Amino acid sequence: MLGDNNSFFEQVLFESTGSQLGVEEVQLKTGGCINNAVQLKTAGGSFFLKWNEAVEEEMFAAEARGLQLLRSNGSFRIPEVLGMGKVSGKSYLLLEYIDSRHPAGNYWEELGRSLARMHTATSGQYGLDHANFIGRLPQNNEQSNSWIDFFRDSRLQVQLGLALYNKRVDEAFARRFKSLYPRLSELLTEEPPALLHGDLWSGNVMVDEQGQPSLIDPAVFYGHREAELAFTELFGGFDERFYNAYQEAKPLEPGYEERKDIYNLYPLMVHVNLFGTSYLSGVERTLNRYL
């Protein structure tokens, strides 16, 4: 089946690099929940290619912009964007191939320190100057001067509205969920906007050729860094050395442990909308705790 795509692969390589590169070997890779992904081995080196016939170019365009923003920040190894577009009805994104190896002995500490460095990058407002995606869902980044307003309106309310529209939740649930909104100003803190990866879980962190962390598949925006740290804890968490190194480099305000479950309402509602109502139990636990 992959061999049937050779002409597509070679056309993508030509459009992206300007060189006629014959594909010598193709290896299947993980491309997230919706995309096809392969490593293309050529005489000119290896490339990582993602493509999809069912999505528009704007999804890969947003991913490319996010990768470029993180790459320009310089805190992490980020794969270089080599090409993006549409060939034979297939939207694609061509990236530098990172040959993943075993983590170095200081991997977790370096991940924590690098994330702390990235979080020192700031902006005048929360959000971003363009919308992007989290998974296959559009992510609204309309800018705001208030973190709490941004988190309520562009994160929680958007996902609640989508779940209600798709009948994943009912009106009674929506009323209960929204009853948390007036409490956000007393439960959460304000902090200068920080550059966030936006979808930071173990599946979006790679180990590069030197055994050091590399980030992929971002959903970037400027937000409260506690939301990023909370996200890392949602699906099992990272090694304790990561959290210790982060805290040493850029300590969190007291009370983070009391706030993190509120931040994780956003990724949980994203998962409700992407994968179904089984994730509502986590949302209910948080609502029961704070209401």
Q: Tell me: the pLDDT tens digits for 247-259?
A: 999 999 999 999 9
Q: Is residue 199 flagged as an active site residue?
A: yes
Q: Are strands 90-96 and 137-139 parallel, antiparallel or unpaired?
A: unpaired
Going by C-alpha positions, the residue among 124, 173, 169, 192 that lies closest to residue 277 is 169
DSSP 8-state assignment for residue 55: S
Contact, 85 vs 57, CB < 8 A?
Answer: yes
pLDDT of residue 1: 46
All domains of the chain in start order, with CATH: 2-96 (3.30.200.20), 107-290 (3.90.1200.10)
Q: Quick check: 85 pLDDT over 50?
A: yes
Mean pLDDT of 135-150: 97
Q: What phi and psi, each to the nearest 5 degrees, are found at residue 93?
A: -140, 120
pLDDT of residue 2: 56
Question: Per the residue annotation, which of 170, 199, 239, 261 is the catalytic one?
Answer: 199
Q: Quick check: 223 pLDDT over 90?
A: yes
- What mean pLDDT is reported for the chain? 95
Going by C-alpha positions, the residue among 77, 61, 32 that lies closest to residue 199 is 32
Going by C-alpha positions, the residue among 124, 117, 114, 76 that lies closest to residue 222 is 124
39 SS3 class:
strand
Mean pLDDT of 58-71: 96
How far is Cα of residue 15 from the mean position of the Cα atoms in its chain? Answer: 27
* H helix count then E strand count, the chain: 12, 11
